[in-house]
């Protein structure tokens, strides 16, 4: 497809399209703005999870019923044979995640330099989303929407959620390069419960370019709309990209009926440009608990029994939609991303109450999507990004900080990279060579393990010096913590070298 330059005012969808919520990127210090409310209004970059105080618990069984995954043609589908990449804060090997369901891709987070923390979820966010997608908790009976899918976890966030946009870009590039490593479970879906702090031009943004390359490689990219509220005025990046499936959240109001479901007040809506595509349950979702993690320690009242934890946000809604997409891909393996996107949007359930009904935003309905498998979907003609815009514009107000020095300008976490040099390599799928990305050694070279039930991408030591003068990667992110098999051991977040916005305003209860 030829690349065109368009004014943002021309990149619009009709109000009838449903909104998609994405988890904002793991936060580093947001220099220009700090969280100011229960759903971080004004916060440029964040993992899109929060909750509404006092909301009734929404079980995963209820989620499956609300979206029709436990009835009709959808009831027989599990996502078997479909790979989903979860680019997030890692996944802890809690009992509710079968070992055969999850493999570890490379750990590109700052915590990768501490072997005891590598791949593991010290924050708790990634584990919560993994439970929504492929969980199977025997103790509580909680089962994810696509328990037969294969989840590849690519960790980029730390225990405080700190991440730079360059880590997300490198992670997407890796997924595209390795999407067919497991022929029995090719990666067809990327879950981005993330939003960068930037508001760059759509036609040059490198983050959107990376996501578009994934789409062109046959991967449906599902992105959270953001948690800044209905008056935000625009979705978070990269959900602003028309090629992606943007997800917003609904409040289920304690029932499994859809007639009383309403647009969650924390969901971003757009005044122009890309609008939310589809809505999905996203309030007080009871998914897997990561015992001893940051959010588990900070919000003990969010625990449900001993194995579950309540969380709300467009992040959770995005995970629901990613899992539902896997069901559709299982039903029609030859489908393209744009077909599955169209079917999920147009097969949704109309919500008669409140703003969702007024705007024509539809709630996810798996059987509605499956009923459209024979319909023709026109090839989209949306504009594409050149990828040559600045990293700093994509980063926006969200900066990771090392020794009081923020990462700024045209530098990745690992060293300088010019977008104009990276973009053609990303398009040709040559930005990665083994464990080297754009010439920087940031991971091992291959998978370890004897079967796909135990695969893990090898780690490595970062040898390039950081952006802080004369500083190298020697500081582990979470002092005194180790995974004991079922929980994180005693220990405390020390702050030490890395600093970042903590999710003090995110409510998990």
Which entry of 315, 385, 386, 500 is annotated as an active-site residue?
315
Among 208, 187, 132, 502, CA closest to 333: 187
* Known catalytic residue at 125: yes
3-state helix, strand, coil in the chain (%, to 5): 25, 20, 60
Both tokens of 368, joined, read 């509605």
The answer to whether 123 and 500 have CB atoms below 8 angstroms apart is no
* Known catalytic residue at 88: yes
Cα–Cα distance for residue pair 44/235, rounded to 1 Å: 11
* Known catalytic residue at 342: no
Cα-Cα-Cα-Cα dihedral of 30, 271, 189, 289, to 10°? 50
Side-chain-side CA neighbours of residue 223 (13 Å)? 34
Cα–Cα distance for residue pair 188/416, rounded to 1 Å: 31
Among 179, 237, 174, 176, CA closest to 207: 237
Torsions phi, psi of 294, nearest 5? -55, -55
Cα–Cα distance for residue pair 200/334, rounded to 1 Å: 34
The answer to whether 439 and 430 have CB atoms below 8 angstroms apart is no
Cα-Cα-Cα-Cα dihedral of 174, 152, 105, 59, to 10°? 120
Residues 6+ apart with CB under 8 A from 240: 202, 208, 234, 246, 270, 273, 274
The total of other beta-carbon atoms located within 10 Å of residue 2's CB is 5
Which entry of 39, 40, 125, 399 is annotated as an active-site residue?
125
Both tokens of 240, joined, read 């602003």
Which entry of 45, 88, 287, 500 is annotated as an active-site residue?
88
Cα–Cα distance for residue pair 463/293, rounded to 1 Å: 28
Among 170, 126, 153, 110, CA closest to 401: 110
Q: Which residues are catalytic?
A: 88, 125, 315
């Amino acid at each position: 497809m030829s690349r065109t330059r368009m004014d943002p005012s021309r990149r619009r969808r009709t109000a009838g399209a449903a909104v998609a919520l994405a988890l904002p990127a793991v936060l580093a210090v947001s220099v220009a703005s700090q969280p100011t409310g229960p759903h971080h209004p004004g916060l440029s970059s964040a993992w899109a999870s929060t909750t509404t105080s006092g909301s009734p618990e929404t079980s995963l069984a209820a989620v499956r019923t609300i979206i029709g995954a436990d009835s009709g043609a959808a009831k027989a589908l599990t996502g078997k044979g479909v790979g989903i990449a979860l680019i997030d804060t890692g996944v802890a090997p809690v009992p509710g995640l079968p070992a055969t369901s999850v493999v570890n891709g490379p750990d590109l987070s700052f915590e990768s330099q501490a072997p005891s923390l590598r791949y593991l979820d010290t924050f708790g966010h990634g584990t919560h989303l993994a439970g929504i997608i492929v969980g199977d908790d025997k103790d509580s009976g909680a089962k994810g929407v696509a328990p037969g899918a294969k989840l590849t976890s690519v960790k980029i966030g730390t225990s405080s959620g700190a991440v730079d946009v360059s880590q997300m870009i490198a992670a997407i590039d890796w997924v595209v390069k390795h999407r067919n490593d497991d022929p029995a479970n090719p990666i067809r879906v990327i879950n981005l419960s993330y939003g960068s702090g930037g508001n760059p031009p759509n036609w040059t943004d490198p983050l959107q370019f990376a996501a578009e390359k994934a789409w062109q490689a046959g991967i449906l990219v599902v992105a959270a709309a953001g948690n800044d509220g209905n008056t935000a005025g625009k979705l978070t990046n990269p959900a602003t990209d028309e090629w992606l499936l943007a997800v917003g959240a609904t409040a289920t109001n304690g029932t499994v009926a859809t007639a009383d479901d309403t647009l969650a007040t924390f969901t971003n809506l757009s005044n122009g440009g890309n609008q939310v595509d589809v809505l999905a349950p996203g309030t007080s979702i009871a998914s897997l608990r990561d015992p001893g993690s940051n959010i588990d320690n900070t919000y003990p009242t969010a625990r449900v029994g001993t194995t579950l934890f309540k969380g709300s946000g467009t992040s959770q809604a995005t995970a629901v939609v990613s899992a539902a997409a896997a069901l559709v891909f299982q039903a029609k393996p030859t489908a393209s991303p744009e077909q599955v996107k169209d079917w999920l949007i147009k097969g949704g359930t109309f919500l008669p109450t409140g703003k969702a009904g007024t705007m024509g935003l539809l709630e996810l309905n798996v059987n509605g999507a499956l009923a459209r498998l024979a319909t023709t979907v026109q090839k989209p003609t949306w504009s594409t990004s050149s990828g040559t815009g600045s990293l700093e514009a994509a980063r926006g107000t969200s900066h990771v900080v090392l020794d009081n020095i923020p990462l700024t300008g045209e530098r990745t976490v690992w060293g300088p990279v010019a977008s104009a040099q990276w973009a053609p390599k990303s398009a040709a799928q040559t930005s990665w060579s083994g464990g080297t990305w754009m010439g920087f050694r940031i991971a091992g070279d291959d998978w370890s393990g004897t079967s796909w039930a135990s695969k893990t991408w090898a780690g490595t030591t970062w040898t390039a010096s950081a952006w802080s003068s004369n500083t190298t990667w020697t500081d582990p992110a979470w002092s005194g913590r180790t995974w004991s098999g079922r929980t994180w051991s005693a220990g405390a977040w020390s702050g030490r070298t890395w600093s970042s916005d903590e999710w003090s305003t995110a409510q998990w209860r």
